[in-house]
Structure 1
Amino acid sequence: MTASVKEFGKVWWSEVYNRIIGAVVFLDDYSSECLHWDGGLFNLLTGGAVAVKSLSPFESSLKEHKKAVFITQTTATQLQTIREIIYNSDFSHCILISCISLDVVYLELNDGKDVSDVIASGKATTEATKQLEGMLVEWIGKKPCATEVVHIPIFTVSPTNIVFLTPPYHRMYPTFNGSLAPESNSIDLYSLNSEERSQVRRLASGLNSMFDSMNFREDIFYMGTYSSLVAGVLENSPVCLARRKNCSNPISLIIVDRTLDLCGVTSYSMESVLDKVMSVLPRFPGHSNDVAVDMSPLCEANVISHPDDVQLSPGCLYHANDDACIQTFDYMINKSQKEVMFDLYNKLSKIDVQKSPGLKTLLKVTPQSVEKIITASKGNYNIISKHVGVLQQALGVVQTLKSPKRNQIELLMSLERQVQQNLAASRDSTSVLHQISNLIKTRKERNLSLENLLALTTHVYSLTGTEVSFNKQHEDSLTETLSVAIFEDHKTLFSNMDTHIASPEECDEIANKILTRLKDVSQMRKILHRYTSVLKPCDTGSGHEYRGLLQQLVDDIVNSDKPELTDLRHRNEGIKDLLRSGFNILTSKKSRSTKHPLDNPTVILFVVGGVTAEECKQLHRSVITSGIDNTLLIGSTKFVNPVEAMRDALAL
């Protein structure tokens, strides 16, 4: 049994390292991202790998390399890629590490066939192993050869001891055949398209593997239609049923749809330094949870257009093998900007070649004072190599705080507050859409991008929910304004449109789709009873503030009065029967459940569709200040910023 999600990841990576001696290792992007959070490339090279390559059909290996290890999600496409790599190499020993449970792989390998007997009898894993080993032997095409197929659940990363993310599912989003809401009240897995169905099964199987390793037997709670499907698979699949019989540590698992509340993830009013960095800097190439830091201030290379300039590799924020950096990353989530700046200055001052003023003589640490120490190390590769982690983190924070985008974010924050108070004061929508239309028309003068304003619009629609109905005339006007703006900015908004000029008709169609999607966003909480509103009066008595659905839920869970959690469903209410009978799980009459999440010592809150660092900090703080003894772990598919959250919600 492992003690934490971080430990769970480390235990399984050690299983990988045991198999790589003398091998060429091929990884897909998701496994590479998970490796980054465990220690990175050098873990493989110092562990005995002779080469490390991307899982690509264009890759192959030298004739003298006879052993290959493939670390993959075992999709049909990836299996074809493995075949191409083997054909173009000369391997006699192949190990396929499937990060996905082999019973799920078996279902996908035999899609369209009736395999219910094999699944029910629990033989799916054995059959999948045989099938995959047979494929490897056929592709190697010579005797003698050695093959091994093994499931190693590499799918989590742990930014802190209480937060974990799942990079292979960063594109997973609560949709039903691409729509935010299901077309029917009767839902089961077949309400989803095959790709969505596969993602649900894969996520559930990953959580099952994690619980198996950690000896967890879960009580499942869920909020949201999509989460009910993940809960259903975890509750009913034969593998999960068998595991629960053997595990002894009781936990509560709460699964929540992100779409129920998009305000937190589309808000620019962010306190967490990590959220600020992730809103300003580009993503680290191929990653969903770390950023690319421009390293040119430390180097003497002539960089023209970082991060696109390939002569200089980007830096990043997380450094798994440096305890000081892990602490700073934790601060970026949980501490104030001032505390993060003092922490960075303190760590940098120990390597300062110019001997800047000590912390005690500084009243305030500014980006400039931090930058001064960094640039003093320029070209001093002895110092850089010894302290490369903290230098990258400090550069990332400085580049964020000095970025021109920060001014745009300040403006968006004030617009957000203005809209919030307008809606709260009168519950009247008349001026809000008109205001947004004007902002879109004047975006160039204000130096605002269309995607920033679409994030603000998504925030407004999620904030109002079903409490405010927008005037049709104003919505029509917004659609028209959007269409013109999309026509003008389509090349920056849609990378796939670079090859042709969008026609006005295409832009009309996109604008109409966006508005339809926004209307869906506003309706997502109508299935709830207690948490329909996220705009609440301030504790001070003046004005209103956003109080997120996740925050309200956690506050109610830890409340000593134990209010009835009307919207939180429990698996004992018969997911299986409801799915079979086709009743609507979410609005069917709820009998008072005797189960409460705090009945178990550990509670895992898992959000499908992304969270912010700020949400993680606030939720953890609620549990700490409540005085309860239970442990809260927060999981999600990824860290997300306002633009990414908007693109997920509006399918852009």
Structure 2
Amino acid sequence: MSTPGVLTFTQQAWEQVLAKVKRAVVYLDAACAESLHWGCGSSRLLEAVGNSACYLREFEPAAVGGGAEQPKAVFVLSCLLKGRTVETLRDIICRSHFQYCVVVTAVNHAVHLTANHVPPAAAAELEGQQPVFEQLEEKLCEWMGNMNYTAEVLHVPLLLACAAPHLALTPAFASLFPLLPQDVHILNRARSDKRRLGNLAEVDATTLTPELLLTIRCLVSGLSSLCEHLGVREECFAVGSLSRIIAADLANFAPAKNRRKTATGRASVVFVDRTLDLTGAVGHHGDNLVEKILSVLPQLPGHTNDVMVNMVELTALQAEEENQNMVAPGCLAQSNDPAAKALWEALLNTKHKEAVMEVRRHLVEAASRENLPIKMSMGRVTPGQLMSYIHLFKNNLKALGNHCGLLQLGLATVQTLKHPQTAKWDNFLAFERLLLQSIGESTMSVVLNQLLPMIKPSNQRTNDDYSPEELLVLLIYIYSVSGEFSVDKDLGEGEEKVKKALAQVFCEESELSPLLQKITGCDSSINLTFRKSRSAVDELFTSLRDIAGARNLMKQFKSVYVPGNHTHQASYKPLLKQVVEEIFNPERPDPVDIEHMSSGLTDLLKTGFSMFMKVSRPHPSDHPLLILFVVGGVTVSEAKMIKDLVPSLKPGTQGLPEAQEPQNSNPSCVGGVEGRLAISSLFPSSDEGGEWKRRWLRSLPRGRGSVGEGGRSGCSSHLSPTPRLTATLSGGRPTPAPEV
């Protein structure tokens, strides 16, 4: 399909960067490195550099500068060119011998004007000019030590990392997470001389901190570039408070006005707050192998959406713990290996059992093509059987090179199946099902009492018992799926017992995990007193209450819990499923909780007239392309659910040919929807110490990243057309610039 899509959006953006890097030292920040990792791979960058002594470096204050034999540098950055970023640029350049510097930013110039407090009217007069970039170019020459050296600053929309045809990632925004009710109090403290905010419904762009507002504007800048690439004029819709602010900002994004006038296509962009349903983020009902891989394998350093695969089994080293770090890890992203990409997409789109069989089939076919002595065996696929196939490639360097990507996915599967955490998956699932039945039949205090016996100190726990982190997973599940509940004396007593038990367990941990360190504010268990632990647990329960009340302002999507009856057990109905079903409701009722954001006077008049005239209000299903953007991320299972759901609700839709985005949670990942493309953050259910937990912690009080954290966000979005689908200065005399 030749239609522009998310994959071509990412590829074309990177082609602009690759055109600048010949014979250069290349510095990338983590988000851009991740976009490259999933989009075209580091090998493509190395080819473009074309130097046998290629230097790829992380953009950080301590980064090594360029030597005398390295006159050219390219900096590829996902953030605003302001503050610490500019200081780091200066430090690197001043200790180098560069004569030619190129700085690529994923944030367009209009947002830089906003960041520099240029009024909108003045910014409009500067259309077509780039004074911020031009000033930085002069600074670059000054830092290089010669104003006749060459400096270039340009914007390239490196927003997405495409993980699959129905998954796209926004790695630069892995920390953007919706607000909770307690954040209203934090905002009010910054508004001492203004009207107090009553609840999240009253929060708008004018009430946010400047840092958070700039983060949103950076995201909007990237989404506007995506819409420009797709050739569409977008209608914006929102479900949730932060989604409403983002949608309104995109709808009224000034630089997009001229683009929308000439756009030939139309699209609906629907933003959804993740906090409205955290049940899906922490539950274990998803029967998906990739979700388990992302949950149990260690995170790839510097990445939010990939894991480390231990490759020692393919070497002559013994598989001992001391050898684990001697061999570079494998990963899931295989952007330049068609066979591995095909397997990866199959793993995303099938259930666990079928996925494991698919891994076996690919390994058998690869071994057969290489004429390796494979011994076929039928029946249940075991980790040992898969490993025996993988070992066939071990002593055949040619076969190893030909199928390296496939072998990495095979090893990821084996290591996940053998991981002790995978064995507990069914235990989690069974207990979650029990909780669903209890929630319908009992009060919240009774449900908490069921959890109480499972809270055990480390010296009493076995491998089958729940760790403190896993107990937090279950608590989030309980409070999110329950939703609003009455607070009474019994609940207070039940919570008090759980708080006391948790606080004691935290204190008795021999070693605090990174998550517990962040929660308690203590680096070591030695420094953790019961008082500190209890204070941290009290804050946790404040956030849990907020999570339970996250849907209080909803009218239609108030519950994700379906009570049982004499024929069916109680169940969980994902909010995303409810939203998609409402969008494609054949009766097309006016949306209740899916709020339309006007983009100007015409839209306002149209919406107003619709209240007393026969003028239809804008509806998300009006246009042939839908982008579903989950602010905070989706799981692999949710992405697959939406991918399967859309064609059943809208017959005639076809599979998404272009890529979308996921984000992982100990992995935090962005998930795409294939009837519609999803750009979002993807986090597998229950990941121990995973990214979703770090995001959730940002909503906690005491400055742990709540509202004012100008963080970037992992957001998710699904793109899909309705009839068809489309898927994120050193000194010296004047010297000519090095060859490009």
TM-score (normalizing by structure 2): 0.81
Q: Which residue identity is paired with 1:621?
A: D
Distance 1:607 1:540, change over 3 A: farther
Q: Which residue of 2 aligns with 1:585?
A: none
Distance 1:3 1:430, change over 3 A: same
Q: Which residue identity is paired with 1:634?
A: A
Provide structure 1 residue ranges, at least 5 long, that are not aligned to the other structure. 579-587
Counterpart mapping for 1:173-212 below 5 A? 173-175=177-179, 179=183, 184=197, 185-212=201-228
Q: Which residue of 2 aligns with 1:32?
A: 33
Q: Which residue of 1 aligns with 2:357?
A: 342
Residue 42, structure 1, aligned to residue 43, structure 2: yes
Residue aligned with 1:160, SS: strand
Deviation at 1:73, TM superposition (A): 2.4
Equivalents in 1 of 2:602, 2:574: separation in Å? Answer: 30
Deviation at 1:178, TM superposition (A): 8.0
Is the 1:280–1:403 Cα contact (8 Å) retained in structure 2? yes
Residue 491, structure 1, aligned to residue 496, structure 2: no
Is the 1:163–1:633 Cα contact (8 Å) retained in structure 2? yes
Is the 1:177–1:192 Cα contact (8 Å) retained in structure 2? no
Equivalents in 1 of 2:495, 2:601: separation in Å? Answer: 39
Residue aligned with 2:164, SS: coil
Equivalents in 1 of 2:506, 2:585: separation in Å? Answer: 47
Deviation at 1:19, TM superposition (A): 0.9
Deviation at 1:495, TM superposition (A): 4.7
Alignment match of 2:135 (pick from 120, 131, 136): 131
- Give the helix-richer structure, 1 or 2: 1
Equivalents in 2 of 1:606, 1:338: separation in Å? Answer: 30
Distance 1:177 1:122, change over 3 A: farther
Q: Which residue of 2 aligns with 1:478?
A: 498
Counterpart mapping for 1:208-607 below 5 A? 208-302=224-318, 304-305=320-321, 309-352=324-367, 355-358=373-376, 362-424=378-440, 426=441, 428-441=443-456, 444-445=461-462, 446-467=464-485, 469=487, 471-489=491-509, 491-492=512-513, 493-495=515-517, 497-499=522-524, 501-537=527-563, 541-572=567-598, 594-607=617-630
Equivalents in 1 of 2:566, 2:644: separation in Å? Answer: 20
Q: Which residue identity is paired with 2:527?
A: I
Residue aligned with 1:441, SS: coil
Q: Which residue of 2 aligns with 1:622?
A: 645
Answer with 631-640 or 329-338: which moved more.
631-640
Is the 2:457–2:505 Cα contact (8 Å) retained in structure 1? no
Residue aligned with 2:626, SS: strand
Q: Which residue of 2 aligns with 1:149?
A: 153
Answer with 622-631 or 46-55: which moved more.
622-631
Equivalents in 2 of 1:127, 1:324: separation in Å? Answer: 47
Is the 2:180–2:547 Cα contact (8 Å) retained in structure 1? no
Equivalents in 2 of 1:483, 1:459: separation in Å? Answer: 19
Q: Which residue identity is paired with 1:347?
A: H
Q: Which residue identity is paired with 2:288?
A: S
Equivalents in 1 of 2:380, 2:645: separation in Å? Answer: 29
Equivalents in 1 of 2:329, 2:14: separation in Å? Answer: 25
Q: Which residue of 1 aligns with 2:17?
A: 16
Residue 73, structure 1, aligned to residue 73, structure 2: no
Task: Using CA pairs under 8 Å that are at least 6 residues apart, name the structure with larger relative contact order, 1 or 2.
Answer: 2
Answer with 397-406 or 569-578: which moved more.
569-578
Q: Which residue of 2 aligns with 1:649?
A: 696
Q: Which residue identity is paired with 1:51?
A: Y
Q: Which residue identity is paired with 2:352?
A: Q
Is the 2:78–2:158 Cα contact (8 Å) retained in structure 1? no
Residue aligned with 2:238, SS: strand
Q: Which residue identity is paired with 2:202?
A: S
Is the 2:314–2:394 Cα contact (8 Å) retained in structure 1? yes
Q: Deviations over 1:253-295 (max 9, x none)?
A: 0001100110000102221111111111111111111111111
Equivalents in 1 of 2:565, 2:20: separation in Å? Answer: 57
Equivalents in 1 of 2:495, 2:297: separation in Å? Answer: 33
Q: Which residue of 2 aligns with 1:53?
A: 57
Equivalents in 1 of 2:437, 2:180: separation in Å? Answer: 34
Deviation at 1:114, TM superposition (A): 5.1
Equivalents in 2 of 1:319, 1:540: separation in Å? Answer: 49
Answer with 290-299 or 380-389: which moved more.
380-389
Alignment match of 1:85 (pick from 85, 88, 92): 92
Deviation at 1:417, TM superposition (A): 0.9
Equivalents in 2 of 1:99, 1:641: separation in Å? Answer: 30
Deviation at 1:220, TM superposition (A): 0.5
Equivalents in 2 of 1:594, 1:143: separation in Å? Answer: 57
Q: Which residue of 2 aligns with 1:582?
A: none
Residue aligned with 2:256, SS: helix
Equivalents in 1 of 2:530, 2:298: separation in Å? Answer: 30
Equivalents in 1 of 2:276, 2:153: separation in Å? Answer: 40
Q: Which residue of 1 aligns with 2:708?
A: none
Deviation at 1:116, TM superposition (A): 3.5
Q: Deviations over 1:595-648 (max 9, x none)?
A: 221110011100010100100111111111223446511111344443433442
Answer with 538-547 or 218-227: which moved more.
538-547
Is the 2:266–2:623 Cα contact (8 Å) retained in structure 1? yes
Equivalents in 2 of 1:176, 1:441: separation in Å? Answer: 30
RMSD (Å), alpha carbons:
2.7
Deviation at 1:458, TM superposition (A): 0.4
Q: Deviations over 1:53-99 (max 9, x none)?
A: 11122221121111111001244222211111111111111111011
Is the 1:2–1:8 Cα contact (8 Å) retained in structure 2? no
Deviation at 1:540, TM superposition (A): 9.2
Alignment match of 1:100 (pick from 107, 125, 129): 107
Equivalents in 2 of 1:330, 1:615: separation in Å? Answer: 15
Q: Which residue of 1 aligns with 2:703?
A: none
Distance 1:202 1:223, change over 3 A: same
Distance 1:485 1:121, change over 3 A: farther
Residue 119, structure 1, aligned to residue 123, structure 2: yes
Equivalents in 2 of 1:203, 1:79: separation in Å? Answer: 20
Residue aligned with 1:311, SS: coil
Distance 1:574 1:469, change over 3 A: farther
Q: Which residue of 2 aligns with 1:583?
A: none
Deviation at 1:479, TM superposition (A): 1.5
Q: Which residue identity is paired with 1:608?
A: V
Deviation at 1:485, TM superposition (A): 1.9
Deviation at 1:157, TM superposition (A): 1.4
Deviation at 1:22, TM superposition (A): 1.5
Provide structure 2 residue ranges, at least 5 long, that are not aligned to the other structure. 189-196, 605-610, 654-674, 701-740
Is the 1:100–1:206 Cα contact (8 Å) retained in structure 2? yes
Q: Which residue identity is paired with 2:628?
A: L
Answer with 383-392 or 68-77: which moved more.
68-77
Equivalents in 2 of 1:272, 1:72: separation in Å? Answer: 34
